[in-house]
Structure 1
């Protein structure tokens, strides 16, 4: 009996139809199938074509499909944003107190408070004048009386009308002719500081622009008018304030004593000042509109 051939398969015991219909087996050659053969090159996966997906995404967003309502809304939102930006910038640049120091802010606040108080006082005064005009039976007559009172007060200050009231009379004797214009000017300043309202020196009415010239002594000019001793000051004011002001240590009386001049102060409840100034009409100044109101 011969041994079986190497690589042959033993025959089945019961051959049947399945044996005849079975596919013939491939001969075993010792090499892997063609699908499993290694060619020696790295295996590269085939690229996946994603162009259709990108194309669909691009087609969805371009060209943009914008309706008229959306376009109008976008324009309105842009205009609103631009307006808000301009308003904020304008408010920031127009604020003069932005970045100011605390001391400056306190000073500005104090000035505003003072101005507010002055305006409130002016408001009350105007309201009182209006009330008087409205309650008067003859409003025109009331207005005339108020204007006349103002004219009298201004005339007293300007020296165009006579004045009377309580005050003092100061008589300066100067037998040695040692008093000059500076001494009289110092006396005038002391009286004004003590509350003198109206002053007359000899026959000269003293006003805001009064000037003195007296060099050498004994040749004193007041507003261009020569005055000689004794120098008589008629002063309207509170005698209880004027008389002590002249007698203070180092004051007018002590200065005159050093110059061998005398000073006599006489208080009175009725001092008449009758020296007048001409009413000079200004050449350039005019009353501003509304200056006479209130």
Structure 2
């Protein structure tokens, strides 16, 4: 056999072996596709098979959630919450529809009582608010009224001086015929005519004033007063003077006793005789 014929098969074998080597190189250089990567992910990076616990953890905790998945989960949660609230409301309504008449009446009465209590509480709080807003004004007004009342009572009790329009009445009893009863009648007539403050000489006349006959004059609350008797009276002059000068009144009675009487209207009368304020021994205010 010629040498050329024996070497041909060898060359053919070498060519086939060269093609196989090239195919193996191409396979090694080709990147792995998705199908080729599955066994590696299943067996792990080390090539060892995963345990059951590792596969469970991997199934419960996915590696990453997309934004769309988060939005869908949130919408599903809101939908479930709304359904739960609706089911609960429907259950409450169903419970009321299935309640007895006595229970419904009791529930209605309880709601009415609660509404009434809330309304009362609202009115009470509004009243407190009004009082707090007006407390300063009320305190100032109360203080003014207290001061005015104290002054009025002081005038009536004779503990403070007073001034105002009125009259002066002078009784000149040269014959000493005017006794205590005549002066008491004069005081009573003046009070009946609206006298608010009376002073006879240097003695203040008050509600508990008493008169008595003494040697050479008249005793007023234990103080001796002699003629001429000078009355200073605060009140409305248009009422006081006519009350004294009426027919058969004080002036005519005193003139029958040989006394000279004069009545004068004045725009300003000052009553400055004062009395000491005394605390009653037994009487107390009923408001205490």
TM-score normalised to structure 2 length: 0.52
Q: Which residue of 2 aligns with 1:211?
A: 210
Q: How does 1:149-168 map to 2 (within 5 A)?
A: 149-168=148-167
Alignment of 1:37-116 (within 5 A): none
CA 1:283–1:175: 2 relative to 1, 3 Å: same
CA contact (8 A) 2:217 2:227 kept: no
Inter-CA distance 181–142: structure 2 relative to 1 (3 Å threshold): same
C-alpha displacement at 1:259, in angstroms?
1.1
Indicate conservation of the 8 Å contact 1:199/1:236, yes or no.
Answer: yes
Residue pair 1:133, 1:142 contacting (<8 A) in 2 also: no
Whether 1:277 aligns to 2:270 is no
Could you say which residue in structure 2 is the equivalent of 1:264? Answer: 262
Go from structure 1 to structure 2 and tell me whether the alpha carbon gap of 1:231 and 1:138 turns closer, same or farther (over 3 Å shift).
same
Q: What do residues 20-51 of structure 1 show as CA deviations (whole Å, max 9, x unaligned)? A: xxxxxxxxxxxxxxxxxxxxxxxxxxxxxxxx
- Partner SS, residue 272 of structure 1: strand
Q: Check conservation: 1:247, 1:254, Cα contact below 8 A.
A: yes
CA contact (8 A) 1:133 1:143 kept: no
Q: CA deviation at 1:133?
A: 10
RMSD: 2.2
1:71 aligned partner? none
How far apart in 2 are the matches of 1:231 and 1:187?
Answer: 11
User: Would you say the 8 A contact 2:243–2:249 is kept in 1?
Assistant: yes
Q: How does 1:138-157 map to 2 (within 5 A)?
A: 138-157=137-156
Partners of 1:215 and 1:251 lie apart in 2 by 25
Inter-CA distance 179–284: structure 2 relative to 1 (3 Å threshold): same
Q: Which whole-Å deviations, capped at 9, do the CAs of 1:130-166 have from their partners, x for residues lacking one?
A: x999757443222211111111111111110001111
CA contact (8 A) 2:173 2:259 kept: yes
Counterpart of 1:263 in 2: which secondary structure?
Answer: strand
Relative to total residues, which structure has the larger helix share, 1 or 2? 2
Q: Alpha carbons of 1:215 and 1:274: their partners in 2 closer, same or farther (altered >3 Å)?
A: closer
Partner of 1:239: 237
Deviation at 1:238, TM superposition (A): 0.6
Specify the alignment match of 2:95 in structure 1: none
Alignment coverage as a number of residue pairs: 159
Tell me which residue corresponds to 1:222.
220
Q: Deviations over 1:73-124 (max 9, x none)?
A: xxxxxxxxxxxxxxxxxxxxxxxxxxxxxxxxxxxxxxxxxxxxxxxxxxxx
2:225 and 2:132 map into 1 onto residues whose CA distance is 48
Residues 186 and 133 of structure 1: is their aligned pair in 2 closer, same or farther, counting only changes over 3 Å?
A: farther
C-alpha change, 1:136 and 1:262, in structure 2 (3 Å) is: farther
- Verify the 8 A CA contact 1:212 1:220 in the aligned structure 2: yes
1:201 corresponds to: 200
| Alignment-derived partner of residue 69 in structure 1 | none
8 Å Cα contact 2:214/2:224 also seen in 1:
no
Structure 1 residues 174-183 or 133-142, which shifts more? Answer: 133-142
Q: 5+ residue gaps in structure 1? A: 1-130
Structure 2 residue runs of 5 or longer lacking an equivalent are 1-129
Residue matched to 1:46: none
